[in-house]
Amino acid sequence: MNDSQKLIEIRPALAQDAGAACLVLRRSITECCVADHCGQAGILDGWLGNKTADNVASWIASPSNYTLVAVREGEVVGVSLLTQAGKLSLCYLLPEALHQGVGKAMLQAVERQARSWGISVLRLHSTATARDFYLRNGYISAGKEKSCYGVECDFLWKKLNADPADDGNKPRRFCNCSAQ
Please give the distance of CA 46 from its chain centroid, rounded to a whole number: 18
pTM over 0.85: no
pLDDT for position 143: 87
Residuewise pLDDT in 10s, the chain (180 residues) = 454 457 899 999 999 999 999 999 999 988 888 787 878 888 888 888 889 999 999 999 999 999 999 999 999 999 999 999 999 999 999 999 988 989 999 999 999 999 999 999 999 999 888 999 999 999 999 988 777 677 788 899 999 985 444 444 444 444 444 443
What is the domain class of 3-119 according to CATH? alpha beta
CA angle centred on 115, ends 109 and 125, rounded to 5°: 70
Are 140 and 156 spatial neighbours (Cβ–Cβ below 8 Å)?
yes
Which positions ≥6 away from 45 have C-beta within 8 Å?
A: none
Residue 4 CA to residue 32 CA, distance in Å, equals: 18
